[in-house]
């Protein structure tokens, strides 16, 4: 259904869509559209102009939310009312088009809406079964009110093509959230492609995203598609998006606006249909204010902002997560462990977990490796002392003051040697790196500068640790 009051536009839209094999029905007012739907509501998708003579398209979506459940809705808007299109996406619209709309772009978006709307009907049925069974989206663990709200938001945004901007501290599960959004959407049968914008050198990131042609730069030994084309009909996850250099942000913005990519070394544009989910552990609004992130790109990406709470804010989830990891790692180690004692769970719950779920996972993993079971004493979980529980800031303890001993280099060296006694060189390196990352507020590039290494070195090490964990 095409809901457009300008005859020349509605006829042009219908001509493009009918040429592509669709049957188009035109309504020139909101009332006419509702009357047609009441008589024959079996439409695969709707193209809705937001400026209608008898009603406001955005208000129509607010007043009639059942329309968004009937079929995917693509809204059309002028540049001046782009913010209203973003509001429509937040209500659940599939996508939006900015006038003037080209024929190929119209057909591409409507085709995607129809295909994904059909797939979403299947996903909705599966999601209903999952909800009846009490399942959570993706592989999330936790039933706290804070996480129930996250699950609700994932369910709401999954059906749309709206870009989602996930924020949260390091270790809160931002990629897990992106995977859950993909798995709950009509795109779940398509690919999920993740790319870490901070782990790839700036001069290679454009090629990784958009591809290149043979000979376009040194080392380009053949034609290669990028992550955007690899994720066609699926979801592209851009992690650490705030690490992207400003020149490439301009190209990413154009990709989002046009739905096309241009490989490095090519003068030809190619259509791509992907859903974008991005993430950062920084405050994106602060990055915009300080000129490190484009404001127009931020508002284009943050159509649906989704914040993941830190583990210390997820009241009651620590016990469930600890039990899950204890069972999982126990089975991996071929051991059987009894449920954790109440005092142990209370101690774990009091700790502030600056490394969030990832830190809890590592603490439990170390306990299962170092103890035979079946009982695990509270001392099996190595945490900072009580004075550090409220806000631990470093993985290394502060040097202890001793009466009559000067606080000089030799004393500090002795304290550090004592602190790391019994650890392997790899464990010491990991403590130093994780401490530097915490001190840098979760920013790997800043931590890399402090340690005198490249950011890619830290990303490689963390990826290796994640596999080992």
Lowest-confidence pick of 74-83, 93-102, 156-165, 361-370: 74-83
Arithmetic mean of pLDDT over the chain: 82
Query: Of 150-154, 217-221, 418-422, 425-429, which one has max mean pLDDT?
Result: 150-154
Q: How many CA atoms lie within 13 A of 254 on its CB side?
A: 13
335: tokens are 């051991």
Per-residue pLDDT at 22: 93
Mean pLDDT of 308-336: 89
Per-residue pLDDT at 127: 47
Mean pLDDT of 196-200: 88
Per-residue pLDDT at 298: 92
Would the pLDDT of 440 be above 80? no
Question: DSSP E strands: which ranges in 102-234?
Answer: 164-167, 192-196
122 pLDDT band (50/70/90 cuts)? low
Would the pLDDT of 306 be above 90? yes
End-to-end CA distance of the chain: 52
Question: What's the CA gap between 381 and 368, in Å, rounded?
Answer: 10
Sorted by where each starts, the structural domains of the chain and their CATH numbers stand as 2-121 (3.40.50.2300), 136-309 (3.40.50.300), 311-392 (1.10.8.60), 401-469 (1.10.10)
Per-residue pLDDT at 129: 45
Per-residue pLDDT at 104: 87
Would the pLDDT of 418 be above 70? no
Three-point CA angle 309, 436, 146, nearest 5°: 5
% pLDDT > 90, the chain: 32
Query: Is the link from the previous residue into 454 a cis peptide, with omega within 30 of 0?
Result: no
Lowest-confidence pick of 222-226, 357-361, 390-394: 390-394
Would the pLDDT of 250 be above 80? yes
Would the pLDDT of 446 be above 70? yes
Mean pLDDT of 410-437: 68
3-state secondary structure of 337: coil
CB 234 within 8 A of CB 190: yes
More confident position, 390 or 168: 168
Question: What's the CA gap between 210 and 225, in Å, rounded?
Answer: 7
Would the pLDDT of 393 be above 70? no
Mean pLDDT of 345-355: 88
Q: What is the pLDDT of residues 60-92, one digit of tens each?
A: 988 888 888 788 899 988 765 667 877 888 787
């Amino acid at each position: 259904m095409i809901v457009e009051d300008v005859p020349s536009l509605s006829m042009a839209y219908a001509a493009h869509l009918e040429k592509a094999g669709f049957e188009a029905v035109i309504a020139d007012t909101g009332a006419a559209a509702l009357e047609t739907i009441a008589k024959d509501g079996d439409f695969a998708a709707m193209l809705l102009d937001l400026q209608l003579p008898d009603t406001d398209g955005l208000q129509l979506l607010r007043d009639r939310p059942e329309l968004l459940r009937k079929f995917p809705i693509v809204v059309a808007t002028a540049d001046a009312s782009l913010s209203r299109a973003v509001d429509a996406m937040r209500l659940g619209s599939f996508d939006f088009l900015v006038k003037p709309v080209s024929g190929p772009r119209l057909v591409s978006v409507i085709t995607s809406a129809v295909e994904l709307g059909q797939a979403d009907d299947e996903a909705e049925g599966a999601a209903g079964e999952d909800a009846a069974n009490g399942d959570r989206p993706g592989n999330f663990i936790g039933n706290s009110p804070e996480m129930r709200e996250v699950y609700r938001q994932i369910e709401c945004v999954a059906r749309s093509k709206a870009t989602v901007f996930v924020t949260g501290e390091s270790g809160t599960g931002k990629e897990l959230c992106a995977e859950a959004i993909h798995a709950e959407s009509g795109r779940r049968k398509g690919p999920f492609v993740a790319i870490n914008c901070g782990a790839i050198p700036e001069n290679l990131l454009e090629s990784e995203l958009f591809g290149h042609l043979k000979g376009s730069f040194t080392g380009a030994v053949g034609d290669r598609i990028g992550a955007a084309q690899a994720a066609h009909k699926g979801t592209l996850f851009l992690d650490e998006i705030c690490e992207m250099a400003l020149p490439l942000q301009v190209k990413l913005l154009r990709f989002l606006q046009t739905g096309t990519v241009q490989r490095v070394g090519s003068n030809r544009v190619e259509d791509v249909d992907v859903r974008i989910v991005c993430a950062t552990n920084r405050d994106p609004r602060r990055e915009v204010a300080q000129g490190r992130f484009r404001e127009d790109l931020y508002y284009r990406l943050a159509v649906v902002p989704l914040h993941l709470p830190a583990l210390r804010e997820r009241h009651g989830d620590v016990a469930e997560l600890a039990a899950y990891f204890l069972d999982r790692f126990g089975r991996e180690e071929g051991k059987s462990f009894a449920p954790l004692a109440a005092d142990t769970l209370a101690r774990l719950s009091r700790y502030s977990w600056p490394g969030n779920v990832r830190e809890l996972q590592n603490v439990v993993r170390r306990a299962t490796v170092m103890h035979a079971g079946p009982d695990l004493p509270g001392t099996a979980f190595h945490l900072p002392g009580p004075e550090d529980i409220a806000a631990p800031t470093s993985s290394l303890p502060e040097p202890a003051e001793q009466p009559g001993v000067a606080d000089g280099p030799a004393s500090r060296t002795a304290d550090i040697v004592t602190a790391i006694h019994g650890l392997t060189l790899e464990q010491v390196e990991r403590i130093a790196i994780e401490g530097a990352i915490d001190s840098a507020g979760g920013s790997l590039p800043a931590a890399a500068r402090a340690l005198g290494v490249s950011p890619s070195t830290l990303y490689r090490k963390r990826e290796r640790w994640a596999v080992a964990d």
